[in-house]
């Protein structure tokens, strides 16, 4: 049985990990999100989230968006290719409910260009 937990090794935490993706990445853009991806040398995908306080004013809203992104990643981690993903949130995402946000994220991760 697969373990659908979100372990620490699935996080992009250090600046060097984020810089690795920023240097040479593939990009998918919508009006709500930007997803950057780069192949990694591990056998599993990793996730980093970037939400600016200038874009999303209230912390409860930033935390809600992070929870939805992490939950989608946790459930889909075995279907994704071994890449480092960085999800960058844009300003107009705060008006979406959790279900709509999850659908946008799923479509971005499974779009054929990655």
Taking 70 as the threshold, does the pLDDT of residue 111 lie above it? no
Q: Per-residue confidence at 101, pLDDT binned at 50, 70, 90?
A: very high
8-110 fold? Ribosomal Protein S5; domain 2 (3.30.230)
For 110, the enclosing helix (H) or strand (E) is helix 98-110
Q: Indicate the domain borders of the chain.
A: 8-110
pLDDT band at 1; cut points 50, 70, 90? low
Residue carrying structure tokens 């593939």: 26
pTM of the model: 0.88
DSSP strands (E only) in 4-75: 26-29, 33-39, 46-50
What's residue 113's pLDDT?
53
- Residue-wise pLDDT for 37-60, tens only, equals 999 999 889 999 999 999 899 999
- The 10s digit of each residue's pLDDT in 76-87 is 888 888 899 999
């Amino acid at each position: 049985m697969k373990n659908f937990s979100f372990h620490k090794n699935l996080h992009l935490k250090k600046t060097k990990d984020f810089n690795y993706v920023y240097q040479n990445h593939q990009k998918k853009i919508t009006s709500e999100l930007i997803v950057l991806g780069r192949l990694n040398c591990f056998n599993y995908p990793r996730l980093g989230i970037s939400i600016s306080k200038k874009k999303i004013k209230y912390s409860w809203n930033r935390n809600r968006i992070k929870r939805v992104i992490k939950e989608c990643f946790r459930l889909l981690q075995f279907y994704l290719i071994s890449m480092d993903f960085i999800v960058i949130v844009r300003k107009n995402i705060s008006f979406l409910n959790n279900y709509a946000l999850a659908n946008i994220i799923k479509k971005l991760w499974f779009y054929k260009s990655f």
